[in-house]
Structure 1
Amino acid sequence: MSSYHCNPNAFIVRFFEEDAVLFHKANGSTHHLPPLASYLLGELLRSPASYEALTGALLDDDEDRGILSSQIDETLDDLCRLGLISRHP
């Protein structure tokens, strides 16, 4: 089971009602995070979490689990690729 975490000292983030804007200190890039990415990053700022912990509440509340599960996977991969979070086996 993979776990995810982020380093809150690596960026400055401002959360809004549904989305967020983030400045990545290491490379100077600024990112707009849509609602799902904003939610996942917010959870990881609270504490490292497993995939199941991150997605449990989201998938329990949604009727179309397949599509949402795919979106979560893509979003986590994007956040990892951008260097905002990291995955540990």
Structure 2
Amino acid sequence: GYEDGKPLYFNQVPVSDFWEILGDNQSACIEDVTQERAVIHYVDGMQARLVKQVDWKDLEGRVRQVDHYNRFGACFAKTTYSADSEPIMTVYQ
């Protein structure tokens, strides 16, 4: 169910083959060889590196989609951004 599961730890974010997740106590990022593909934001006030949202970037480094996670580790919404970095649509799952 939707409210089953555990919080998502930063290194459990699904990524493409050969992409790497790098993180510390403040933040994490997802890299494809030499290019940053996403930034992982942690839950506020927690030192456990639990995922709050992931900002996915295009090849120019602009945020194109944000995945929002709940306390059960489920992605409950995705926000799509325009080329001007403006939010244009949020889809709740």
TM-score in terms of structure 2 length: 0.30
Q: Which has the higher helix share?
A: 1
TM-score, normalised relative to structure 1: 0.31
